[in-house]
């Protein structure tokens, strides 16, 4: 993991914006993890990753949150 973004307990602007920020700032090939409690992330994060052309490596269900692991591809 090159970077972990803890976006739990944030309602505005929320975990997807933190992910977009991390991907924009990162280098191609970097692996980024985002932690989210937001129910909407289950839908939003995979959709955005697909649309923006990156790779979703894993969604790990933890006790109180989900960890999305992403690889920046371009």
- Beta carbon nearer to another protein, 21 or 62: 21
- Provide the 10 A C-beta neighbour count for residue 1: 10
Q: What track of x and - describes contact with another protein for positions 5 through 24 (by CB under 8 A)?
A: xxx-xxxxxxxxxx-xx--x
Helix (H) or strand (E) holding 9, with range, is: none
At which residue do the structure tokens 């955005």 appear? 48
Span near another protein by CB under 8 A; candidates 37-45, 56-64, 65-73: 37-45
Answer yes or no: 25 catalytic: no
For 63: left if phi > 0, alpha if psi spans -120 to 50, otherwise beta; the answer is alpha
Residues acting as catalytic residues: 12
Q: Which residues sit at the interface with another protein, rule CB under 8 A?
A: 5-7, 9-18, 20-21, 24-25, 38-40, 43-44, 47-48, 51-53
């Amino acid at each position: 993991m090159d970077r972990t973004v803890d976006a739990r307990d944030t309602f505005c602007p929320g975990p997807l914006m933190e992910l977009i920020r991390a991907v924009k700032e990162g280098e191609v090939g970097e692996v980024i993890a985002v932690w989210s409690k937001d129910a909407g992330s289950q839908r939003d994060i995979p959709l955005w990753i697909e649309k923006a052309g990156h790779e979703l490596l894993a969604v790990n269900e933890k006790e109180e949150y989900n960890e999305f692991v992403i690889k920046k591809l371009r």
